[in-house]
Chain A
Amino acid sequence: MSRTDPLLVDLTRKLLRDVADPQTRRGGGGKGDWRAAAWQALEGSGLTRAWVPESAGGSGAGIADGFEILTLAGGVALDVPLAETLLAGWLLATAGLTVPDGKLAPAGTDDDSVRLDADGRLSGRAAAVPFARDVDRLVVLGQRATGEAFVALVDRAACTVRARDNLAGEPRDTVIFDGVTPTALATARADLSGRLLAMGAVARACQMAGALQGLLTRSVAYVGERVAFDRPIGKFQAIQHALARLAGETAIALAASGSAADALADAAPDTASSGTGDVDGVFLEVASAKIRVGEAAAAGAAIAHQVHGAIGFSTEHPLHLFTQRLWAWRDDFGSESAWAVRLGTHVAKRGADALWPMVSAR
């Protein structure tokens, strides 16, 4: 029932290895170069338009494929706006708008942050917009004064961007819209904000699960090479058990994020408002993935650092590319705590006897 396209998965894996290998990408032609080349390769292969239907000029690869691409991207701790471009493209396509080439980022997951004024201009601000300063265009989800939701495409250059970085050094900028005229605009369904939050949360969960797999692979390799007390440290039971725990955290992250991705791929576009049992099911999947993968990120990063010792704490070693992103990505599209309160409140309201039927519905 795995519905991802194996050819696409192979292509993505190979491409990422060629253009974004964490071991080599920091050497050579300077910091900016590999990112530009990586982006060109990703765009050239159509991977950046996986969530745009073929009819709208995309690759039409499907929701499940897009999440698999992001899992693989997490596996090399990729820090170009691939997830952001996928999400923004999905947002535009869902609203019936044409998706332009180039780097995109979604803005305004909070309903009230950006308004569309009567004269057709955007005002307000969006906080923690990923990669805002690096992208060509922003896709803004906001609300008209009438309460109606809209999706707007704006040139990034027309906005004021206040640079802020997360702890991994990835841009999480504040964008100020001061009377910006969109280049395209469409009315959106009322529930699109919730859908974007869910897609974003699962996108980050997939990236984190991939990064955990990357940590596991690197840690296993490292303990086979590093010698202490006259043998590879991987021969010590304490190290073996630490890596077994890392494998457990990686496994549950892959299972939870994969399952949530599958649930979102399954969900009809109108599921979020249909009022059927599917709402519960998809919500449970998304919330659980973001919560449990976020927990795994913290636990896994700690184990990987411990087995790597001092070298893993250095800038020179690529370990931090993974661990810093794992810590940072937990905060995007709702932290573990935020999703847990939402999920717990929902479960409590439904009552103890409804919990098992909810969990066992799929």
Chain B
Amino acid sequence: MAEAIHFDQVRLSESAQALRREVRAFLADEIAAGTFDPRRGVSSAVFHAELSRRIGARGWIGMTWPRRYGGGERSFLERYVVTEEFRVANAPVGLHFTADRQSGPMLLRYGSERIKDEILPRITRGECCFCIGMSEPGSGSDLFAAATRATRCDGGWRVRGTKVWTTAAHRADYMIGLFRTSPRTKEDRRHGLTQFLVDMRAPGITVSPISDMSGRREFDEVVFDDLFVPDEHALGEIDLAWKQATSELAYERSGPERFLETAYLLFELVRVLGERPDVRGAEGIGRLVAQLHALRRMSVSVAGMLQAGKEPVLEGSIVKDLGTTWQQTLPPRARDLAAFVDAEATDRSVFDAVLDYATLAAPKLTIQGGTTEILRGIIARGLGLR
């Protein structure tokens, strides 16, 4: 067996919990001012430009980044606490969330000084939106099948091809895209892909909306027709993008968003079952809360281990697998437990609305950002099985 599963016991520091209280107060003010409604089950992918700017002004975007790029040089655990609070409140942070979680760290690691100086401070101010160009019509879970081609030209690259299911492409300022720069080799099918920074305002990009089954427009199709990308925008080593997934991936997979996306449904379930649920309701709530707590302890532990410089890749993948799978079981479970709540005696309209929303949103949770099947393959590799 390649490695044993291990979780450090990590407790949040008093300063992190003080920060939590600060974020809660901020959110309470925003909710009171009518910026958003936490009980509406709105997706965190919703944009709110003014809110993102105000969050940036508080120093809550790019919290762990160096100060010289606008960051706060705070710990992963402090960022963890802030992410939790925004997620639980259902705050519309779609404008900056992707840039904060993964694009910014990617640029920090592989971007030129000029790019970092220019873009990172804008992200931390909540003014800059990123999308991720991974999937294509012929390449989903099998990322290494990506066919969108970047061909060398004078001073840079010409890109032709199509990305699809790209969240927020129509609002993004930049994309970090995975393009084919060489054919794959016989020895290594992962070879030949490179990550690029793409300015979404550049000529040669056509973005078309794709409506999801709940009627929302969160993702798009993006067609590149002879898009020019300057040399400087190639991130990391040419042809070797597959090597660039390191501990950041564990962080991305294990964050609180992986089990809190539909937490609002649990809160509304507790509300609708009332102060004295029957034994069935009580047991149902107890098991769900135990699950939420256990997932959270895993997630906090992974954040703490990353902060300590460890690479809990296996543990991080497990958090996403268990967290997203659990979130998917939550809507049918909540529906069962609330089945006998009498609409005449109890106002269950909010519960019913968020149940519908969560039911419709649930299928994507185990697909986006790495399907359950891909994750289980990664876990199996961690176990030494492949």
Interface of A with B (CB < 8 Å)? 1-3, 64, 213, 216-217, 220-221, 223-224, 234-235, 237, 239-241, 243-245, 247-248, 250-252, 254-256, 258-259, 262, 284-285, 287-289, 291-292, 295, 336-337, 339-345, 347-349, 351-353, 355-356, 359-362
Q: Tell yes or no: B339 within 8 A of A by CB.
A: no
Q: Tell yes or no: B166 within 8 A of A by CB.
A: no
Determine which of B267, B289, B301 lies in contact with A344 in the assembled complex, contact meaning CB atoms within 8 Å.
B289
Measured in the bound complex, the distance between the Cα atoms of B298 and A353 in whole Å is 23
Lowest 8 CB-CB distances: which A-B pairs, in order? A340-B286, A344-B286, A344-B282, A344-B285, A244-B376, A240-B380, A343-B286, A291-B290
Q: Tell yes or no: B241 within 8 A of A by CB.
A: no
> Is there an interface contact between A362 and B281, defined as CB atoms closer than 8 Å?
no
Residues of A within 8 A of B386 (CB): 235, 240
Residues of A within 8 A of B169 (CB): none
> Is there an interface contact between B289 and A341, defined as CB atoms closer than 8 Å?
no
Instruction: Please name the residue on chain B nearest to A293 by beta carbon.
Output: B294
A-B contact number at CB 8 A: 184
Residues of A within 8 A of B318 (CB): 247-248, 251-252
Measured in the bound complex, the distance between the Cα atoms of B303 and A1 in whole Å is 13
Stretch at the interface among B42-50, B192-200, B272-280: B272-280
Contacts A64-B9, A244-B375, A344-B277 aside, 4 further interface pairs with beta carbons under 8 A come to A241-B376, A252-B298, A295-B287, A352-B271
Interface of B with A (CB < 8 Å)? 1, 4-12, 17, 20, 84, 88, 263, 266-268, 270-271, 273-277, 279, 281-287, 289-298, 301, 304, 314-315, 318, 321-322, 373, 375-377, 379-380, 382-386
> Is there an interface contact between A247 and B285, defined as CB atoms closer than 8 Å?
no
Chief secondary structure at chain A's binding surface: helix
Instruction: Please name the residue on chain A nearest to B319 by beta carbon.
Output: A251
> Is there an interface contact between A251 and B315, defined as CB atoms closer than 8 Å?
yes
Instruction: Kindly provide the distance from the CB of B269 to the nearest chain A CB, expressed in whole angstroms.
Output: 8
Residues of A within 8 A of B263 (CB): 356
Measured in the bound complex, the distance between the Cα atoms of B11 and A285 in whole Å is 13
Residues of B within 8 A of A247 (CB): 5, 314, 318, 379, 382-383
Can you list 5 contacts pairing A with B, beta carbon distance less than 8 Å? A240-B385, A244-B380, A251-B322, A285-B293, A344-B289
> Is there an interface contact between A254 and B270, defined as CB atoms closer than 8 Å?
no
Measured in the bound complex, the distance between the Cα atoms of B268 and A355 in whole Å is 11
> Is there an interface contact between A337 and B301, defined as CB atoms closer than 8 Å?
no
Measured in the bound complex, the distance between the Cα atoms of B319 and A244 in whole Å is 12
> Is there an interface contact between B5 and A347, defined as CB atoms closer than 8 Å?
no
Q: Which of B273, B285, B314, B384 has the most CB of A within 10 A?
A: B285
Measured in the bound complex, the distance between the Cα atoms of B293 and A239 in whole Å is 29
Instruction: Kindly provide the distance from the CB of B300 to the nearest chain A CB, expressed in whole angstroms.
Output: 8
Instruction: Kindly provide the distance from the CB of A278 to the nearest chain B CB, expressed in whole angstroms.
Output: 12
Contacts A255-B7, A362-B11 hold; do A343 and B379 have CB atoms under 8 A apart?
Answer: no
Measured in the bound complex, the distance between the Cα atoms of B277 and A337 in whole Å is 15
Residues of B within 8 A of A344 (CB): 277, 281-287, 289
Residues of B within 8 A of A336 (CB): 287
Contacts A1-B10, A213-B5, A340-B287 hold; do A359 and B322 have CB atoms under 8 A apart?
Answer: no
Residues of A within 8 A of B9 (CB): 1-3, 64, 258-259, 262
Instruction: Kindly provide the distance from the CB of B265 to the nearest chain A CB, expressed in whole angstroms.
Output: 11
Residues of A within 8 A of B20 (CB): 360
Instruction: Kindly provide the distance from the CB of B334 to the nearest chain A CB, expressed in whole angstroms.
Output: 12
Residues of B within 8 A of A343 (CB): 285-286, 289-290
